[in-house]
């Protein structure tokens, strides 16, 4: 992917920790206004030029790197946003969350635990070594092998039915009809030999639950669904609201499914930097190489930022910084605890 500026992140992390340690000694902090926090993060980073679009999927290199949109959707359906909400980017890896949620809903958490696994691999998102080391077991549904396995587990009599199920699930989470970005889909489908290899290797270990070529194709299409920050934030807010879309009122998955889905997001949502992310933000999140990141504050809100330039592990530089800032300003780190007297 691309070279990251660790120094900016470190500065933000340091200020976050300072702010947290100061607030630990204070009385209950009054929550800042959501719109103010969104506007501040938008203004602060809108001219930042760090990171680089993903280019291993050729079409992603052509996306406008200046797209920058932020949205928060609360669990009671209020929307706060700033920046570009008109331009859409491909959802990429963030789709793994919603396919996983549907598989948990359909088959239960034990099936996912047994047939895929829920441990972070500690390896890059498309690692083949991780599969070999564990003979296809104990992988994670939010990195490619586990995600393609999850896609293969989704119900449907054939490839078309499985795709419809996945599309409907994403539409229900977003509360709107999403479209496939065809240039991105075609570009990746012509070039995804590595994901096909992953699917075949899993098949060899009896850990692929549908035809590996078709499962990889459906997975590639789900990754090419086009979304903006507000749609992504609504998807996150549906998780924040226990599986019920706060805008449409539709129950998409159960609260129980939501609990397990959020737990998996906490283990591997930001690739190799998932630990660093949880350390700083404390919220389950998921990023995608299209440039989006979502985070979920359970019972409170979903947040999403879209900005295509990525750091070296594949996370949007601006999206990380903006979310760090907003969580700090809203005082929303879940592990910031005021000791009882």
Based on CB atoms, which residue is closest to ligand GLU, 246 or 292? 292
Q: Report if residue 92 touches ligand GLU, rule: CB under 6 A.
A: yes
Q: Report if residue 308 touches ligand GLU, rule: CB under 6 A.
A: no
Based on CB atoms, which residue is closest to ligand GLU, 8 or 126? 126
Based on CB atoms, which residue is closest to ligand GLU, 289 or 305? 289
Based on CB atoms, which residue is closest to ligand GLU, 153 or 332? 153
Tokens at residue 187, please?
């570009």
Question: What φ, ψ does residue 302 adopt, rounded to 5°?
Answer: -110, 145
Instruction: Check the CA dihedral 150-230-172-297 and report its sign.
Output: positive
Does the annotation flag 34 for ligand binding? no
Least Å distance, CB 126 to ligand GLU, is 6
Judged by CB under 6 A, the residue of 42, 98, 125, 260 near ligand GLU is 125
Does the annotation flag 112 for ligand binding? no
With CA atoms as reference, report the closest residue to 44 among 280, 319, 257: 319
Supply the angle between the helices 212-223 and 182-189 in degrees, to the nearest 10.
Answer: 150
Judged by CB under 6 A, the residue of 59, 84, 105, 188 near ligand GLU is 188
Tokens at residue 72, please?
């928060």
Judged by CB under 6 A, the residue of 187, 195, 228, 267 near ligand GLU is 195
Does the annotation flag 195 for ligand binding? yes
Does the annotation flag 185 for ligand binding? no
Based on CB atoms, which residue is closest to ligand GLU, 125 or 301? 125
Does the annotation flag 152 for ligand binding? no
Q: Report if residue 152 touches ligand GLU, rule: CB under 6 A.
A: no
Based on CB atoms, which residue is closest to ligand GLU, 175 or 314? 314
Q: Report if residue 53 touches ligand GLU, rule: CB under 6 A.
A: no
Size of the site for ligand GLU (CB under 6 A): 11
Does the annotation flag 219 for ligand binding? yes
Judged by CB under 6 A, the residue of 141, 175, 291, 314 near ligand GLU is 314
Tokens at residue 168, please?
């409907």
First to last CA, the chain: 49
Judged by CB under 6 A, the residue of 289, 303, 317, 319 near ligand GLU is 289
Does the annotation flag 188 for ligand binding? yes
Q: Report if residue 223 touches ligand GLU, rule: CB under 6 A.
A: yes
With CA atoms as reference, report the closest residue to 286 among 256, 250, 249, 323: 323
Judged by CB under 6 A, the residue of 212, 288, 302, 308 near ligand GLU is 288
Residue with tokens 């047994």: 114
Say if CB 295 and CB 323 are below 8 A apart. Answer: yes
Binding residues for substrate, by number, are: 93, 144, 188, 195, 219, 271, 289
Interface ranges with ligand GLU (CB under 6 A): 92-93, 125-126, 144, 188, 195, 223, 288-289, 314
């Amino acid at each position: 992917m691309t070279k990251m500026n660790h120094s900016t992140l470190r500065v933000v992390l340091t200020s976050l920790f300072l702010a947290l340690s100061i607030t630990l000694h204070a009385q209950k902090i009054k929550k800042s206004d959501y719109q103010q926090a969104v506007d501040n993060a938008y203004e602060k980073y809108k001219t930042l030029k760090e990171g680089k679009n993903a280019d291993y999927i050729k079409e992603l290199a052509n996306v406008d790197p200046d797209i920058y949109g932020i949205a928060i959707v609360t669990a009671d359906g209020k929307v706060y946003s700033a920046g570009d909400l008109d331009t859409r980017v491909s959802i990429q890896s963030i789709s793994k969350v919603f396919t996983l949620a549907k598989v948990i809903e359909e088959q239960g958490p034990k099936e996912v635990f047994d047939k895929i696994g829920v441990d972070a691999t500690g390896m890059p998102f498309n690692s083949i070594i991780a599969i070999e080391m564990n003979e296809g077991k104990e992988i994670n549904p939010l990195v490619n092998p586990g995600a393609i396995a999850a896609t293969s587990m989704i119900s449907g009599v054939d490839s078309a039915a499985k795709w419809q199920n996945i599309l409907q699930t994403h539409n229900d989470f977003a509360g709107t009809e999403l479209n496939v970005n065809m240039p991105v889909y075609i570009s990746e489908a012509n070039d995804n030999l590595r994901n096909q290899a992953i699917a075949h290797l899993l098949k060899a270990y009896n850990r692929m639950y549908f035809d590996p070529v078709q499962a990889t194709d459906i997975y590639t299409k789900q990754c090419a669904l086009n979304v903006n920050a507000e749609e992504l934030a609504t998807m996150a807010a549906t998780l924040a609201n226990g599986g019920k879309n706060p805008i449409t009122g539709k129950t998409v998955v159960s609260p129980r499914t939501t609990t397990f889905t959020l737990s998996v997001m906490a283990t591997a949502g930001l690739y190799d930097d998932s630990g660093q992310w949880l350390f700083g933000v404390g919220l389950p999140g998921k990023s995608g190489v299209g440039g989006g990141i979502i985070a979920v504050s359970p019972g409170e809100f979903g947040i999403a930022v879209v900005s295509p330039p990525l750091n070296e592990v594949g996370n949007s530089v601006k999206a990380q910084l903006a979310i760090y800032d907003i969580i700090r300003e809203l005082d929303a780190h879940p592990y910031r605890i005021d000791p009882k007297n």
